[in-house]
Structure 1
Amino acid sequence: MSHTPPPRFGIMTAPMQVDYHDILRVWREADTIPEIEHAWVFDHLMPIGGDPDGPAYEGWTLLSALAAHTRRLRFGLLVTSNRFRPPAMLAKIATTVDIVSDGRLEFGIGVGSRPGHPLARREYAAHGLPFHDTAHAVGSLAEACTVIRRLWTEEKPFDFHGTYHQLTGAFGNPKPVQRPHPPITIGGRSSATLRVVAEHADVWNMPGGEIADAINRSALLDRYCAEIGRDPASITRSIVLSVSYDQPGVTRAAIAEAIDAGFSHIILGLAAPYPADVARWVTDELISASA
């Protein structure tokens, strides 16, 4: 891709197998470092790695707490599972967090947990949530994006009669601080999800994996944008890269590859336990070295 904007760096702290105060420590430190522009947590109700019975925090509640303890960082969930919360409720939650943070929310959303991931799949039965097939989940996501945007922007109540969501007298008050609405990040790599990205997203997040696959997925997104008459350059490309504390050179090489491939939104995934001063280490060893 041409005319790639300068990269913006962020961190991700998966809120599982870790204490809340450890996450808070890292976010507070990152909030003082201008080179780290954004920070993220994920949206799972049970651990998807390590001890299956270990701790995992609810993402939006955690995000609101972290918002109240930071002043500068932009932040979000990579990504909200659209399977967990009805879209109108999610719009209300996200608006509240945007207000708490004085307009720093990056609204991340996706289809939800992959059905082939057994540790993710169990969340649904454990919390009494239905797990619909992929076609249903993708269709529901597209409608959810429409509903959420309308609740954030429309000044009068409306009815919505979709295939997957039905609302009567829907209305959002207050509105988010950010106008017309918080930036929408949609995460995922499937062809069906990328069609939703082309239609609704400001940012597309590639959830890790091989850079060659990320490049192919990005090219497919370009094609879907062209099909609906949207400029592909209007969607920022984002990717999550795992950080190696022991081999920072490996991570630096991955960052360089991602930037060369047109990904300008680099999210560095930090494994717990977090070393002391990890945000400063990330800045010095990874971000500054990649400038």
Structure 2
Amino acid sequence: MRDTPRFGIMTAPMQVGYDDIARVWREADAIPEIGHAWLFDHLMPIGGDPGGPIFEGWTLLSALAAQTRRLRLGLLVTSNRFRPPAMLAKIATTVDIVSGGRLDFGIGAGSRPSHPLAKREYDAHGLPFHDAAQAVESLAEACTIIRRLWTEFEPFDVDDTHVQLTGAFGNPKPVQLPHPPILIGGRSSAVLRVAAEHAGLWNIPGGDIDDAIRRSTLLDRYCGEIGRDPASIVRSIHLPVSYDQPDATRVAIAEAIDAGFSHIVLGLPSPYPADVARWVADELIRTSA
């Protein structure tokens, strides 16, 4: 039986004001058809004016968590390159508590080296930018460490290849038990192997549904190799929204649902029209249900 689709929105926190994003999230929080809301995790714009405004994702997410009551929320997805895993576990725990247990913990290996507008943010903030292999290895280590900090009640040490910790301990713990759901985003085979081991949800950007299907099938295979039921990982897809051509978005939604993607994230471009969350529910979600 095919899972009932769950719809959400994504508001990229760049080239837009805080009040505008907060308005959209408050509107969406009052609309039952919209079940989740997302930000992204960049430190400098990756579209539009390279010198335009952009907000730090986790700080903004905590503020929006305090202004909403129902929506599940998260970052699509956190760059594991930006923050040490023990600190990230603490940040995520704080947001889960502020939200009353509504966090979906999105994480990925970080920006592709081939994306110059993404890579420049590392140089600008004094952050190292290692090769893709190290980024994926670090992601796997981080997922294990973060889960341990969320669930273990005694301090522990870590001596991994990329992370070393002494007396690591997390207190308080997240509201959600045993821990917030982990969403891993990415399409490379290496990231899919990490998702097979750690993810409760897996997300891929839309645009090429045939490629998304191939990647989902590959994830199935990796799950089988480690003895995990592939159906235990929810398939999530991010689809861009066109206000002027909603039919194109409706077609993309239908294709994604037919392909087994039941967690649909609708990316809303700014500027946001008045009552945009209601428009999404009326024009996209209800016509696709």
TM-score, normalised with respect to structure 1 = 0.99
One-letter identity of the residue aligned with 2:178: P
Q: Secondary structure at the match of 2:36?
A: strand
CA distance in 1, matches of 2:207, 2:164: 36
Tell me the number of residue pairs that the alignment of Structure 1 and Structure 2 aligns. 289
Q: CA deviation at 1:208?
A: 2.2
- For 2:39 and 2:108, the matched residues in 1 are separated by 14
1:196 aligns with 2:202: no
Partner Cα separation in structure 1 for residue 162 and residue 206 of structure 2: 29
The residue type equivalent to 1:229 in the other structure is G
Q: Which residue of 2 aligns with 1:276?
A: 274
Deviation string 1:225-247 (CA, Å, 9 cap, x unpaired) is 00000000000000000001011
Root mean square deviation of aligned Cα: 0.5
Measure the CA separation in 1 of the matches of 2:251 and 2:287: 10
- 1:207 Cα deviation after fit: 1.9
Q: Which of 108, 111, 116 is residue 109 of structure 2 equivalent to? A: 111
- SS of equivalent to 1:136: helix
Q: 2:142 aligns with which of 104, 128, 144?
A: 144
Are 2:98 and 1:100 aligned? yes
> In 2, distance between residues paired with 1:49 and 1:224?
34
Query: Percent of counterpart pairs with the same letter?
Result: 81
Partners of 1:54 and 1:114 lie apart in 2 by: 21
For 2:111, the aligned partner's letter is: S
> Equivalent residues in 2 for 1:1-291 (5 A)?
3-291=1-289
- Equivalent residue letter for 2:79: S
Q: Could you tell me how far 1:209 is from its partner in structure 2?
A: 2.9
- For 1:6 and 1:204, locate their aligned partners in 2 and report how far apart those are by CA, in whole Å: 16
More off after superposition, 203-212 vs 214-223: 203-212
- Cα distance in structure 2, aligned partners of 1:151 and 1:278: 38
AA of the residue aligned to 1:173: N
Q: Kindly provide the amino acid, as one letter, of the partner of residue 243 in structure 2.
A: Y
Which sections of structure 2, spanning at least 5 residues, go unmatched? none
Q: Where do 5+ consecutive residues of structure 1 fail to align?
A: none
Q: What whole-Å deviation, never above 9, does each CA across 1:86-117 have from its counterpart, x for those lacking one? A: 00000000000000010000000000011101
Distance in 2 (CA, whole Å) between partners of 1:25 and 1:290 is: 25
